[in-house]
Structure 1
């Protein structure tokens, strides 16, 4: 099996961690980016290595250009040229109506979820594009079912940030296809991860599962399986896709 080098942003927990471990099971090398929880990132590194891969933890905030460039540099220094990027880092804030949102909340939301995602995508294009000395690769963006549902009365700001990811995915897939980079997005639905607790409602995924045709929340591993498919050669004719992993919701 071909060895790959994958950079995953926001890989210390949740979906990012699950993707990292799945990469490890394939024997791949992983740059494990994290924002602040060094202990969680170290645990992810251990889990990737236990699964059969290699990993290095890299601290950085995707909202800061210098941090994004540094995480790409660190991954390349550790394992060689990057062949896949998972654009996963993102935040959510406590449930609120837009009328009650502060400008500070909105600024931070879009700095991480939109500007940060674009910076990561930009670096992926610079590092992997065959027009710039790269060998091609795959970029997988993490969007959300919220992009098409809107998340009224809870997270319209978060939903809007993920709508931007959908649009970026479509445009960038056409822009980067000629230089050997496939660009796709996963839109998870209600997934049982820590992100709900960071939004102030740990049980949200289970409370809303009544609205899911499959009648349950999804797991981080179920999303990771879809991400790994898009990273792998098994999806070699797939680009510009927005893949819902949402239990039918």
Structure 2
């Protein structure tokens, strides 16, 4: 049977690259996305063109019922979920921490922490042998910011991603006996639309100057790390936090 994998934030950027690569590897992919219908549609078409299958589902991952509906849609379309990529995340504008609004702080924590927790919980229920599942793998998408702290950029985002890494380590220990592997990937600066949304579209080139490899990454380079962690090749890998950040 082909793997059935849910990808949150799968319509654009790193999430879209992950969905496309999984399609190439024969996955049936459930693409969760927040609002960009057209990007999600194009990503689903790319998954199908690559040889996989895809279904899209629009949701707010901070809402438990909507997360349940995403998993229900994927299960009804493709069968039992065997993999989950918790990729959805937001940062808010770049700037000093003392100037960040409470609304932005709440949104970042809600999406990056609560949203990831809700998706991971539903994924655990779907895959855990204790709950009738067949086992599987979860990969959270964190950030190198989790250990760098990102002063004068987005300390709140860095803190939320550190929580994501802690979540992956704890869940790996809890869910391992139930047949579910959990790992985290920490991307560095990557060429995506996120930088423009933060207020600095030139940021990937600026970050290249302080990155040992002297460049920012491509979404596909993060996707390959995620796909490996989902695969049978990583069958003895759980509780790992994999840095994919060009040396940062």
- CA deviation vs aligned residue, 1:141-180 (integer Å, no higher than 9, x gap): 0000000000100100100000100110111100000000
Cα distance in 2 for partners of 1:143, 1:233 equals 22
Give unmatched runs, 5+ long, in structure 2: none
Aligned to 1:164: 163
Residue correspondences, number = 248
- CA deviation vs aligned residue, 1:94-153 (integer Å, no higher than 9, x gap): 112111111111111100000000001110111100000100000000000000000100
Cα distance in 1 for partners of 2:11, 2:201 equals 18
Give the match's secondary structure for 1:243. Answer: strand
Give the match's secondary structure for 1:16. Answer: helix
Give the match's secondary structure for 2:209. Answer: helix
Cα distance in 1 for partners of 2:203, 2:92 equals 13
Aligned to 2:135: 136
- CA deviation vs aligned residue, 1:12-61 (integer Å, no higher than 9, x gap): 10110001000110111000111000111000010000000000110001
Aligned to 1:79: 78
Aligned to 1:29: 28
Cα distance in 1 for partners of 2:36, 2:211 equals 32
- TM-score (structure 2 length as normaliser): 0.99
Cα distance in 1 for partners of 2:102, 2:92 equals 13
Cα distance in 1 for partners of 2:4, 2:202 equals 35
Aligned to 1:199: 198
Aligned to 1:14: 13
The farther-off stretch of 2-11 and 75-84 is 2-11
How much does 1:202 deviate?
Answer: 1.1
The farther-off stretch of 191-200 and 138-147 is 191-200
How much does 1:203 deviate?
Answer: 1.4
CA RMSD of aligned residues (A): 0.7
Cα distance in 1 for partners of 2:81, 2:56 equals 15
Cα distance in 1 for partners of 2:28, 2:201 equals 32
Aligned to 2:65: 66
Aligned to 1:185: 184
Cα distance in 1 for partners of 2:197, 2:139 equals 23
- TM-score (structure 1 length as normaliser): 0.98
